[in-house]
Amino acid sequence: MPSARSGHYSIFAIAREAFRQHTGWQRAWANPEPRSKYKVVIVGAGGHGLATAYYLGKNFGITDVAVIEKGWLGGGNTGRNTTIIRSNYLQDPSAAIYDKALKLYEDLSQELNYNVMFSPRGLIMLAQTEHEVRGYKRTVYANNLQGVATEWIEPARLKELVPIINLEGPRYPVLGGLYQERGGTARHDAVAWGYARACSDMGMHIIQNCEVQGVETEGGQLRAVNTSKGRIECEKLAMVVAGHSSQLAEMAGFRLPIESVALQALVSEPIKPCMDVVVMANTVHGYLSQSDKGEMVIGGGTDGFNNFTQRGSWHHVEETVRALVETFPMISRLKMLRQWGGIVDMTGDRSPILSTTPVRNIFVNCGWGTGGFKAIPGSGWAMAELIANGTPGPLAAEFGLNRFREGRFIDESVAAGVAH
Amino acid sequence: MLILTCPYCGVAAEETELAPGGEAHLKRVGPDGDDQQFEAYMFDRKNEKGVHFERWRHAYGCGKWFLAARDTNTLQVYGTYRAQTPHPTDDIVAAIRKVSPDWNPDWTRAE
């Protein structure tokens, strides 16, 4: 989206700025103080919240929007994930929304005029037990029916794609894999920044360091949110805050089928390029990709207990690394640079919630658990539709809160295990 | 690493020896309950950021279920108690109040 305010990014802009010592670059997004009233307030300036705001403006022309954020923009799980993007899900509603997201990611850099470094390098989920072989073959059949291109690949082909892999692991031999050629990674911060810039250009307010302290309702109807920067009236409120969804819902007087746990990731020192696909090993709870800087990015498993500390248990890191060293022996001497945790919001069926709530005009987008990053554009697209119309569109329809009462689970917990 | 003392066998068990079992003191909904109550019992959780009462099983020890009081925001453990206890014991409440004097048990309201 070209804009007068922040300037269109292009090779000509770079050339122009090169001639004037780069003095002409504008801030990517404005830093306003909140007004006392907006049509829509979105809580959470992570990928999902900003994408929701963006598609509200782009698809529905609603730009009287504030995105408020407790910390800093993209400082939660948007900046803490392992940047994997894929859409090879078993259940139809999941495949629909994740594939919508993947398709939007494909053009996102052009759309936002911001390089999100989407890299469709291909993604393989290793089958390391007979159960996984059957499970992934089933997923391939399901994906083909859904129109999502994935294929089952045998170990020989897998070895060609991932030369550093050890197929003959004594505990978990590699028996094949589920391959999605269109899958890959993107620069997670850039996704948030790109959406934020585009939202700011449309005149929306992105307000950081603004914590929600209460939600005012009257007779089951939304009135306003009280924040650390004052009271903000709004017609509609969207809660898009991942790990703290339960806390926000409690302020509005309802409970969610969510439990928050810590998920960890770690990254190694940078090495020469050695692996140009993303590899996930769900049996052993480890996934591995190489960043553009050369670091091996490793995702692990979640803690089993409720946790809000953004640091997880050490033994999960040990388990993940132990398993990955067996499958990728050459990483055994790598030093790890950083390790961190994020608080993920888990639902019982490991599928997200995009829903109306018991309070009229409050909408919730949460429950993405361990796999939210890949869904950001699709999630924002579907959430914008829900907020604008007050009722879910086709992408969000199956992800309502009522599915728990009605027993219509979108059960990805069995299909995908922990790793999403 | 999280260490909880099993109230049955007295072993100070490390996290790898234990299996977590989610929120404690959930009241089972009987045949008279409606769909909404059953949904709340099955799925809706407090997911407390702070003092949390939860179920654990001494999986690689005596195998028994027990309950623990833990702060999900600081990871401090206030104590463990037997699964048959209807609500957290007085010494657990005292341990919590020592850290957060304003903390109020909510089971007194419920009963």
Q: Is A270 helix (H, G, I), strand (E, B) or coil?
A: strand
Compute the Cα dihedral for B19, B22, B27, B30 and give only its sign.
negative
CATH number at residue B21: 3.30.2270.10
> Domain of A339?
123-181+259-346
Residues A132 and A166 grouped into a single domain: yes
Strand pairing partners for A178? A125, A152
Residues A266 and A407 grouped into a single domain: no
Judge whether B41 lies within some domain: yes
Site of tokens 């898009």: A240
Top-confidence residue, B15 or A323: B15
Question: Each residue's pLDDT tens digit in chain A (420 positions)?
Answer: 444 445 899 999 999 999 999 998 989 999 999 999 999 999 999 999 999 999 999 999 999 999 999 999 999 999 999 999 999 999 999 999 999 999 999 999 999 999 999 999 999 999 999 999 999 999 999 999 999 999 999 999 999 999 999 999 888 899 999 999 999 999 999 999 999 999 999 999 999 999 999 999 999 899 999 999 999 999 999 999 999 999 999 999 999 999 999 999 999 999 999 999 999 988 877 899 999 999 999 998 888 899 999 888 888 899 889 888 989 999 999 999 999 999 999 998 999 999 999 999 999 999 999 989 999 999 999 999 999 999 999 999 999 999 999 999 998 865 444 444
Judge whether A307 lies within some domain: yes
Compute the Cα dihedral for A270, A272, A274, A276 and give only its sign.
positive
Minimal CA–CA distance to A264: which of A8, A80, A39, A5? A80
**Interface confidence (ipTM) of the complex:** 0.92
The total of structural domains in chain B comes to 1
Per DSSP, the residues of A383-404 read HHHHHHHSS--TTTGGG-THHH
Domain boundary among A346, A375, A400: A346
Is B75 close to A315, i.e. CB distance below 8 A?
no
Residues A230 and A279 grouped into a single domain: no
Residues A148 and A244 grouped into a single domain: no
pTM: 0.94
CATH number at residue A313: 3.30.9.10
Is B44 close to A256, i.e. CB distance below 8 A?
yes
Give CA–CA dist A312/B36, Å, rounded.
34
Judge whether A373 lies within some domain: yes
Burial A156-172 (b: 16+ CB within 10 A, else e): eebeebbeebbeebeeb
Minimal CA–CA distance to A6: which of A32, A24, A33? A24
Residues A273 and A161 grouped into a single domain: yes
Residues A192 and A324 grouped into a single domain: no
When scoring A305, A310, A409 by the number of chain B Cβ atoms within 10 A, the one with the most, hence best to mutate, is: A305
Residue B111, pLDDT > 60, answer: no
pLDDT tens figures, B40-55:
999 999 999 999 999 9
Which 6-35 residues of chain B touch chain A by CB within 8 A? 15-16, 19-20, 22-23, 35
Give the pLDDT confidence score for residue A312 in this predicted structure: 86
Is B20 close to A304, i.e. CB distance below 8 A?
yes
E strands present in A156-277: 176-180, 184-185, 205-207, 212-218, 221-227, 230-239, 259-270
The total of structural domains in chain A comes to 2
Give CA–CA dist A181/B38, Å, rounded.
43
> Domain of B104?
3-27+37-110
Rounded to the nearest 10 degrees, what angle do helices A376-389 and A92-106 cross at?
110
Give CA–CA dist A115/A282, Å, rounded.
30
Minimal CA–CA distance to A307: which of A215, A376, A244? A244
Chain A residues with CB under 8 Å of a chain B CB are 244, 246-247, 255-260, 304-309, 313-315, 348, 404-405
